[in-house]
Amino acid sequence: MTLVLPPDEETDGGVMRLVTDLSRSDLGTQLTARWTDTPGLGLDAVAGMFGIDLVNMPRALVPTFTELDLSYTSSTSHLLLAARTPHNKVAFALLPQPSVPAAAAVSMRSTP
């Protein structure tokens, strides 16, 4: 799968190539996607693909990702996203439950 990134103030945009897999089982349909690249892709560009504008975030706080992993399971609507930078690893999970409209968790690990 190929995503075209729109240009912004810092870049001319670009192309993001994801290795994807779609599988079906008794548990539902699962979509997984993986992307790796050097020198990487800024959080602002990734957020922009989802319609989130980070224009007011100071540039020094915008991390550059070198890896992204995504997993979505249709039967549970669970969405897992993991991202890496040269020194950080961030995981995000969106886990809707019948009694709760949406539950989310975030984890971050840093190395020197």
* Lowest pLDDT segment from 8-12, 56-60, 97-101: 8-12
Asked if residues 31 and 20 have their Cβ atoms less than 8 Å apart, the reply is yes
pLDDT at 1: 75
Q: Which residues pair with 88 in a beta bridge?
A: 110
How does pLDDT run across 41-78, given as a tens digit for each residue? 887 777 776 667 777 878 787 788 889 898 998 888 88
User: For the chain, how many structural domains are there in total?
Assistant: 1
Q: Which of 49, 62, 68 is nearest to 10 (CA)?
A: 62
pTM (predicted TM-score): 0.69
Residue-number span of the structural domain to which 38 is assigned = 2-110
